[in-house]
Amino acid sequence: MKVLVVFCAVLALVYANWKPKTLEEWNKSRAECFESEKVSQRCQEELKRDEHPHECGCYFRCIGMKTGIWHDTNGFDIEKTHEALVATGWEVEKDNLKKCFSANPKEDDPCKWSTAVAKCVYENKYLKRKE
């Protein structure tokens, strides 16, 4: 029982210390992921136009890891993802994120898993730039 209490306390501390990245930090992470994941110029351009690219390798996992919204065991954290997207100029409903997160169960390959979730969000047009 003590272990459970300590675990919950540590989890609360970790979550409490998380805050969404600024747009500048997000863009820096994006550039780092483009490089580290060797994302093609075509995919980079599609992402910059807010389109879902089909061949971006592990980009979505990378950006999720760098911004603290992705974990290879649990996938995207709905609360953190929503907060991060809103903080960087997007309009998105949590319920729509939940639809994509639950419709794409965990895969052995976290790159494919994160890409499937992102594809759902993009293809259903759940993300819109704030005007």
pLDDT tens readout for residues 44-100: 998 888 788 777 889 999 999 999 999 999 999 999 999 999 999 999 999 999 999
Tell me the percentage of the chain whose pLDDT exceeds 70: 88
Phi/psi of residue 88, nearest 5 degrees: -110, 20
Going along the chain from its start, the domains and CATH numbers come out as 2-129 (1.10.238.20)
Q: How much is the pLDDT for 44?
A: 92
Give the 3-state secondary structure of residue 35: helix
Residue with tokens 């409903």: 93
- Using CA atoms, how far apart are residues 47 and 56, in angstroms rounded to an integer? 9
More confident site: 99 or 14: 99
